[in-house]
Amino acid sequence: MVVVGGMRGEGRLCNRMTVQRLITTCALLLLTVHATLAQTEVRRAVPVSQTEEARLDINDLARFIAGIQPPADSPLARLAATPEWNAFAAEMNARWRAFDAGRLQPIRNWCTVGMNGIHPATLFYPFSGPDFIYAQTLFPGAERYILCGQEPVGELPSMEKMEPLSQTLGRVQSSLKTLLDAGYFVTKEMRDDLKSQGTLPLLCVMLARSGDRIVSINQDAGHAEIHFLRAGNGRPSTLYYFCVNLRNEGIGKGGFVSFVKQSRPGAAYIKAASYLLHEPDFSTLRNLLLSSCPVIVQDDSGIPLRYFDQTHWNMRLFGTYTPPLDIFKQYYQPDLAELYRRTTTLPLGFGIGYQWNPRDANLVIYSRK
Query: Each residue's pLDDT tens digit in the chain (369 positions)?
Result: 333 333 334 344 344 444 444 444 444 444 343 433 333 332 232 344 444 454 589 999 999 999 999 999 999 999 999 999 999 999 999 999 999 999 999 999 999 999 999 999 999 999 999 999 999 999 999 999 999 999 999 988 887 777 788 888 888 888 787 777 766 666 555 556 566 678 899 999 999 999 999 999 999 989 999 999 999 899 999 999 999 999 999 999 889 999 999 999 999 999 999 999 999 999 999 999 999 999 999 999 999 999 999 999 999 999 999 999 999 999 999 999 999 999 999 999 999 989 989 999 999 999 999
Residues 219 and 290 in one domain: no
142 and 118 in contact (C-beta within 8 Å)?
no
Residues 279 and 231 in one domain: no
User: Which parts of 67-199 are beta strand (E)?
Assistant: 122-125, 144-149
Q: Which residues contact 202 (CB under 8 A, 6 or more apart)?
A: 130, 172, 175, 176, 194
Give the SS3 label for residue 237. strand
Give the closest residue to 196 by CA, choosing from 151, 164, 255, 163: 151
Domain membership of residue 307 as a residue range = 265-369
Proportion of the chain above pLDDT 70, given as a percent = 81
Q: Within a domain: residue 30? A: no
241 and 199 in contact (C-beta within 8 Å)?
yes
Give the closest residue to 75 by CA, choosing from 155, 151, 163, 139: 163
Q: Within a domain: residue 78? A: yes
Q: Within a domain: residue 283? A: yes
Q: What is the pLDDT of residue 1?
A: 39
Residues 275 and 236 in one domain: no
Domain count, the chain: 2
294 to 10, 107, 127, 154: CA distances (angstroms): 106, 22, 19, 32
Tell me the pLDDT tens digit for each residue of 31-59. Answer: 343 433 333 332 232 344 444 454 589 99
Tell me the pLDDT tens digit for each residue of 255-290. Answer: 999 999 999 999 999 999 999 999 999 999 999 999
Tell me the pLDDT tens digit for each residue of 143-162. Answer: 999 999 999 999 888 877 77
Residues 172 and 289 in one domain: no
Q: Within a domain: residue 48? A: no
Q: Which residues contact 213 (CB under 8 A, 6 or more apart)?
A: 59, 228, 229, 231, 234
